[in-house]
Amino acid sequence: MLRLHVNDPLADDAMRILEESGVFEITSKHLEGQQLLDEVAEVEFLVVRSATKVTEKVLAAGKKLKVVGRAGAGLDNIDVQTARAKNIAVYNTPGANSTSVAELAIGLLLALMRHIPRGTAGIKDGKWEKKQLKGNEISGKILGIIGYGSVGRQVAKMAGAFDMKVLVYDPFATVEEADQVSSLDDLLEVSDVVSVHVPLSPDTRNLLDSSAIGKMKKGAVLINTARGGIVNEEALYDSLISAKIGGAGMDVFEVEPPTDELRRRLVGLDNVVCTPHIGASTAEAQKRVGLEMASILVDVAKSMV
């Protein structure tokens, strides 16, 4: 039998599939540091979510390691280049949580435009700030989507239900359902809302820096449910306090949790709505992610035995 270690929890149904497959000897416990290195030295399969960093050091310790499974979309927590060099296959589940992430992007937008968090907090604090909380509709607004993968497509679909006009910038995708622009600048200059849906890579790090944000329409808002590091948060802070842009909705940060001085100032602004990286944290998404990953792992394992 093949040894499988599940370092971050999977849904019960997914674990059941793995256990009943008959091809794995399974351990399941979150380990860090030397404990993780000791465990990975003895296994052929390793499964993680976002909490575990599969670094070069972890991969070097995995003398028997054949497969790393990432139950989720992003691979920025896995040293994919080193894994490939060591002939370790890396699998993920890029579409399984797209609906949940897209719904949160729309939710952050609505919360930002209609001042929902401040209204809730005010009422709980005994305030009635009706006159101060005049908002804006999203109907009829131009939504610029950066990245047209599975999440971007879901956001576009949902935005259509709100009668938003959708523009897309993605040089690697063919777009039929919305208007596609040829440059990022073209999208930034006309969009009332900019929503980010690209992976974090050397090419996308600081994609939205001070120069790019400076090209956005005055009063436009920015939504990021992709990855921290794509938006330069110092530039974002400056643009918010200068009223260059009207607000930001953020589920991800370059530093998580955002407890350093810059990000505490950023999240403390009235025109920032934020959540603690919960885009994929729904019961439905985690079940789909787990089931898809379990199916992949079982198929791969059966091809080996």
Find out if CATH 3.30.460.10 is the number for domain 98-274.
no
pLDDT in tens, 221-258: 999 999 999 999 999 999 999 999 999 999 999 999 99
The pLDDT score that the predictor gives to residue 76 is 87
Query: Percent of the chain having pLDDT more than 70?
Result: 100
Known catalytic membership, residue 32 = no
**Of these residues, 227, 233, 254, 288, which one is catalytic?**
227
How far out from the chain centre does Cα 244 lie?
A: 25
**Of these residues, 137, 256, 264, 284, which one is catalytic?**
256
Average pLDDT rounded to a whole number, residues 192-209: 96
Distance (Å, whole) CA 113 – CA 110:
5
**Of these residues, 39, 277, 288, 292, which one is catalytic?**
277
Residue 305: is its pLDDT beyond 80? Answer: no
Query: Percent of the chain having pLDDT more than 90?
Result: 94
Task: Let me know if 172 is exposed, middle or buried by CB neighbors in 10 A (0-12, 13-18, 19+).
Answer: exposed
Average pLDDT rounded to a whole number, residues 97-108: 97
- Read off the pTM: 0.90
- Give yes or no on whether 2-96+284-304 and 98-274 have one common fold: yes
What CATH code would you report for 2-96+284-304? Answer: 3.40.50.720
Domain extents for the chain? 2-96+284-304, 98-274
Known catalytic membership, residue 227 = yes
Contacts of 58 (CB under 8 A, 6+ apart): 36, 37, 40
Cβ atoms within 10 Å, residue 89: 14
Known catalytic membership, residue 115 = no
Question: Which pLDDT band, with edges at 50, 70 and 90, does 74 fall under?
Answer: confident
Question: Which pLDDT band, with edges at 50, 70 and 90, does 138 fall under?
Answer: very high
Token match 């930002």: residue?
Answer: 112
Question: Which pLDDT band, with edges at 50, 70 and 90, does 267 fall under?
Answer: very high
